[in-house]
């Protein structure tokens, strides 16, 4: 297991190199140059030289890339153009919001998708199955930004309720924090829950037709034991794979959720940074998101061995 983890960590290096090359290239393909785009009417040779120095845009491209990678390796993410603070300082303040929102969204997606998919699989082609499958189709078809907008508009018009405007951390005011985080997490989990529901239903229908399930029932085991101990565990491997893929979708979806609900997270920071062309922040958030997705997928691979002891990593 240790060798497998070490090998996977080593294999992350080429993926990270590709990500850094893409991010590195995007900054340098701005028409006319990034300094010209940032300065606009205030352009001058002195200002252009200063911005190029801040972004490391001086010298040949290979030298720029090596210099930038060296700073990343030392934990130097650069300085934000918007307020002059280091990017690391900004992300330390914003990251907890995005982490809490992402964790809550994943928990809600699993809580919604697994039971619904299980019920639909155990009662195939029943009225409950058709209703639950319709819910899944709706969840896949309805954009999260539309659901968030509908919620904010009609909750205010019909019930006179809107989530708190000013963000509070969980340790300063847990009630206000949950009011702000609950609704965006629930709305963001609709798509993920629908995908998990459909995968759970499909895999359960496949597994409960297997010979070992019939053998377990023939031995006199009750239905709950057969489903939870034998069928559910074997059906979970593809579902866990979907869970890992959902992390990337949730991180990208946090951009919309945080913007609509006014949450001061990394997604909202990314939007404002792209608008203001604050490239050091955009670069840092992109690379950090890529690293998180890679690490989560390694964790998902390790979970396979827990669900199926027949799997061994060497």
- Tens of each residue's pLDDT in the chain, 314 residues: 677 677 777 888 888 888 888 888 876 676 655 666 666 666 677 777 777 776 666 777 788 888 888 888 888 888 887 777 888 888 988 999 999 999 999 899 988 888 898 888 888 888 888 888 888 888 888 888 888 888 888 888 888 888 887 888 888 888 888 888 999 999 988 888 888 888 888 888 888 888 888 888 888 878 778 887 778 877 888 888 887 778 888 888 888 888 888 888 898 888 888 887 778 888 889 888 888 888 888 888 777 767 666 666 55
Q: Which of 280, 300, 258 is nearest to 95 (CA)?
A: 258
CA distance 228 to 58: 61
137, two tokens: 């189709």
Of the candidates 28, 27, 82, 9, the residue with the CA atom closest to the CA atom of residue 275? 82
Give the C-alpha separation, 186 to 188, whole Å: 6
In the chain, residues under CATH classification 1.10.3720.10 are 87-307
CB-based burial label for 46 (10 Å; 0-12, 13-18, 19+): exposed
pLDDT of residue 34: 63
Query: Each residue of 187-224: b (16+ CB within 10 Å) or e?
Result: bbbbbbbbbbbbbbbbbbbebbeeeebeebeeeeeeee
Ramachandran class of 59: left when φ > 0, alpha when ψ lies in -120 to 50, beta otherwise: left
Q: What is the largest CA-CA distance in the chain?
A: 84
pLDDT at 104: 92
Inter-CA distances, 96 with 187, 216, 286, 294, Å: 19, 46, 17, 19
What pLDDT sits at residue 108? 92
Domain with residues 87-307, CATH architecture: Orthogonal Bundle (1.10)
d(CA 135, CA 279): 40
Q: How far are the Cα atoms of 18, 56, 200, 209 from residue 130, in angstroms, in the given order?
A: 44, 58, 15, 20
């Amino acid at each position: 297991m240790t060798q497998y983890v070490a090998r996977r960590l080593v294999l992350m290096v080429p993926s990270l190199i590709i990500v850094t090359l893409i991010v590195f290239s995007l900054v340098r393909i701005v028409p006319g140059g990034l300094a010209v785009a940032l300065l606009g009417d205030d352009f001058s040779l002195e200002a252009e030289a200063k911005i190029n120095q801040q972004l490391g845009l001086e010298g040949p491209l290979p030298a720029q890339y090596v210099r930038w990678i060296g700073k990343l390796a030392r934990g130097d993410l650069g300085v934000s153009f918007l307020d002059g603070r280091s990017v690391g300082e900004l992300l330390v303040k914003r990251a907890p919001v995005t982490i809490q929102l992402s964790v809550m969204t994943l928990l809600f997606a699993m809580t919604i998708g697994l039971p619904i998919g299980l019920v639909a699989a155990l009662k195939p082609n029943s009225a409950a199955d058709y209703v639950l499958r319709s819910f899944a189709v709706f969840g896949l078809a309805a954009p999260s930004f539309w659901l968030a907008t509908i919620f904010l508009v009609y909750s205010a018009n019909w019930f006179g309720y809107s989530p708190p405007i000013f963000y509070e951390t969980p340790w300063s005011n847990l009630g206000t924090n949950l009011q702000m985080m609950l609704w965006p997490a629930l709305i963001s989990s609709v798509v993920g829950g629908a995908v998990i529901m459909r995968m759970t239903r499909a895999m359960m229908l496949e597994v409960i037709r297997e010979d070992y399930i019939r053998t377990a029932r023939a031995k006199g085991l009750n239905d709950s034991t057969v489903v939870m101990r034998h069928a559910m565990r074997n059906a979970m491997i593809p579902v866990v794979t979907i869970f890992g893929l959902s992390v990337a979708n949730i991180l990208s979806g946090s951009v919309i959720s945080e913007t609509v609900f006014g949450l001061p997270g990394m997604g909202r920071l990314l939007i404002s940074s792209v608008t203001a062309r604050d490239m050091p922040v955009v670069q840092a958030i992109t690379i950090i998101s890529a690293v998180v997705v890679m690490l989560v997928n390694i964790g998902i691979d390790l979970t396979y061995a827990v669900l199926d002891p027949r799997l061994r990593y060497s």
